Structure 1
Amino acid sequence: GTGFSYVDRGMFIEELDVMAEHFLNFLDRYVEIFPEFLEEDIYLAGESFGGQYIPYIAKAILEKRSLLKLRGLLIGDGWIDPISLYNSYLPYAIANNLVKNDSELYTNITRLVVLCQDILSKQVHIFVNPCFPILDEIIYNGIRRENNGECINAYDIRLNAQKPMCGMNGPSELEYVSAYLNRQDVMSSIHINGKKSQWKDFTESV
């Protein structure tokens, strides 16, 4: 669902090891067409949920594709350990003066953290209430937010952003990227079938 990627209805991959196999199939075809890249070093990079799929891809390359020169992984704000990540939000917010220790907001978030820990200890799905609202409480109600429809930018706490997205819609330049990549001449130059897929930075359904 990101970029130009798409799948047929009902064909979503649900297991990361299957995803890694699909990615290796892509790499096989890629180096078949461009064999010169077998001599290049490979670095896998991603952010957020990349903390889940990048290690799987790396493991599959190391186990099954010795000809590929995997040299490193780059993971930014990786979604690797949900319990540790959810537990880090409140201390981080306090350290950066977004939440005060003795405030009602602190009490509300602490309650959510306790409930979140209890749910995650039962190994349920990672995106569940009350876990996800922990961050929402901080960016919507943090002490630096304004009363004029602004909130704290989820990707850069030094900035305010407009509700309801609060920075989740990406930098302002993104609209120009979308417009450029969805031009017919650009899609044709990189062999994209515009009837099947339009470029987008993310998909809510995924």
Structure 2
Amino acid sequence: MAPRSPPKRVSISHSFTSFFLGFLIPCINAAPLGPESDRVIKLPNQPATPSISQFSGYVTVNEEHGRALFYWFFEAQSEASKKPLLLWLNGGPGCSSIAYGAASELGPLRVGENGVDLHFNEFAWNQEANLLFVESPVGVGFSYTNTTSDLTKLDDAFVAEDVYMFLVEWLQRFPHFKTRDFFISGESYAGHYVPQLAELVYDRNNDTTRYPFINLKGFMVGNPVTDDNYDYTGIMDYAWSHSVISDEFYHNIKQVCDFKELYWSTECNALVNQVFDIYSEIDIYNIYDPKCLINTTSSATANKIKIDGFKRVTILAGGYDPCYSPYSEMYFNRPDVQTSIHADSRGEKWVSCKDSILNSYNFSVFSVLPVYEKLIKEKLKIWMYSGDMDGRVPIIGSRYCVEALGLPVKSPWRSWFHNKQVGGRIVEYEGLTLVTVRGAGHLVPLNKPSEALALIHSFLSDEPLPNHR
């Protein structure tokens, strides 16, 4: 996230056109799972087995401006008709849910280390749910707008509105899921996207005369950006406690910075930037794993990587590869891949994260804790999980955020176990569960895929995480 800029508040319009009425008319005849025009038959270099039911394409969210969001959907591997619908969003802002969530973390198909092959992910989350990935906001990945000025108006409210419109239209296209239990999940800056989308769905569910009902049951966020004060305090505390910065540097930050302030001083901004400069020596998102030494080429037409004199880092035990992002870019820039998933790059190189979105994004919401307070009272199921090796959105900051809610403890802090080892810690509050994943960084399903699958299983099934070996 960039240093603070003056806040810009954008109100959400509550007026909609009459096409919503069609959403409310029940299906009279049985319909196929989804439109055959969106079905993905097979991707290039996809493994022959197992078979995967998948769809992808565009959903228009604003006809007048020509805005459309790109999605990739995977039917659950078994008993799909009985399992919930789970939407996954990545953050940034500006990072692709296809590059990260779908192709590197929790989707059933992962891009291989050569950027060419796909491998079946045995820990894919579509074992537990029908899994829907969306590239949001417009301008990210394959999602687009025909109105350039839209890209100057992006903020949390804009994103929530577009994804809500996407859901309404997508459920029109896939009517089997209209009444299915619906959950939202995501990581990083999706810590803003997810609860605010949940709030918008909840609010509009209370006015079914004007809006379609979406069967929202809860949400789960990983290493989530939540509250600037607590998050940035956590970043500095974590950097000091994990020997990234010196005692003197840490004390200077404590004296100069007040992260509760809406605007930081010049001195504070300078110190914060120095912390990130220090972190550039290692992987801030996974501080004890190797830093990726591969860079993508700058050519818009190139689909290869260069090593720049360094030996490529090998994949570590447990499935973590710090160079996953260039691999995704190599694969999804292939014309045959784009054709197979019905995507249009519109003449641009597809990138995992778009800096222009991050640089122009209007950071108008500095805390989503009020959203948590509201939705906890409304009895939505809410989980927050955190890999404990992440320096960018560290567990310390997330604990500060949860403590600030002042919730009564339902089940005290304890270890949870996975494959006879401590998987992490868990504490259950009245209305919210906080879980840590031991040895994972910012992208928990990438670093600890088996543990992440255990988390989503527990979240969706209400089966508690094991408390003994």
- TM-score bucket (shorter structure): 0.7 to 0.9
Q: What is the alpha-carbon root mean square deviation over aligned residues? A: 2.8
Using the alignment, how far apart are the partners of 1:122 and 1:93 within structure 2? Answer: 21
2:340 alignment partner AA: S
Q: 1:180 to 1:98 in 2, by over 3 A?
A: same
Q: CA deviation at 1:58?
A: 0.4
Alignment of 1:5-154 (within 5 A): 5-7=143-145, 8-12=147-151, 13-65=153-205, 67-99=213-245, 105-117=246-258, 120-124=259-263, 129-130=269-270, 132-133=272-273, 135-136=275-276, 138-140=278-280, 151-154=281-284
Matched residue SS, 1:74: strand
1:4 corresponds in structure 2 to 142
Higher share of residues assigned helix: 1
2:174 alignment partner AA: F
1:158 alignment partner AA: Y
1:159 corresponds in structure 2 to 289
Q: CA deviation at 1:70?
A: 1.7
Q: CA deviation at 1:30?
A: 0.6
Between the aligned residues of both structures, percent identity stands at: 25
Q: What CA deviation, in whole Å up to 9, does each residue of 1:137-178 have, x standing for no partner?
A: 5525xxxxxxxxxx2210111124268x9xxxx831222221
**Would you say the 8 A contact 2:187–2:223 is kept in 1?**
yes
**Would you say the 8 A contact 2:328–2:352 is kept in 1?**
no
Q: CA deviation at 1:88?
A: 1.7
2:336 corresponds in structure 1 to 185
Q: 1:88 to 1:121 in 2, by over 3 A?
A: closer
Q: CA deviation at 1:113?
A: 4.2
1:192 alignment partner AA: A
**Would you say the 8 A contact 2:228–2:260 is kept in 1?**
no
1:115 alignment partner AA: V
1:155 alignment partner AA: Y
Q: TM-score, normalised by structure 1?
A: 0.74
Of residues 60-69 and 30-39 in structure 1, the stretch that sits farther from structure 2 once superposed is 60-69
Q: CA deviation at 1:32?
A: 1.0
**Would you say the 8 A contact 2:292–2:323 is kept in 1?**
no
Q: 1:91 to 1:4 in 2, by over 3 A?
A: same
1:143 corresponds in structure 2 to none
Q: 1:81 to 1:6 in 2, by over 3 A?
A: same
Q: CA deviation at 1:134?
A: 5.5
Using the alignment, how far apart are the partners of 1:198 and 1:40 within structure 2? Answer: 36
Q: 1:185 to 1:31 in 2, by over 3 A?
A: same
**Would you say the 8 A contact 1:43–1:71 is kept in 2?**
yes
**Would you say the 8 A contact 2:140–2:353 is kept in 1?**
yes
Using the alignment, how far apart are the partners of 2:279 and 2:220 within structure 1? Answer: 27
Using the alignment, how far apart are the partners of 2:237 and 2:286 within structure 1? Answer: 17
Higher share of residues assigned strand: 2
Using the alignment, how far apart are the partners of 1:27 and 1:198 within structure 2? Answer: 27
Q: 1:37 to 1:68 in 2, by over 3 A?
A: same
Q: CA deviation at 1:196?
A: 5.1
Any stretches of 5+ residues in structure 1 without a counterpart? 100-104, 141-150
Q: What CA deviation, in whole Å up to 9, does each residue of 1:56-93 have, x standing for no partner?
A: 10011111146322222121221111111111223323
**Would you say the 8 A contact 2:283–2:290 is kept in 1?**
yes
Any stretches of 5+ residues in structure 2 without a counterpart? 1-138, 206-211, 296-320, 359-469
Aligned length: 182
Q: CA deviation at 1:131?
A: 6.2
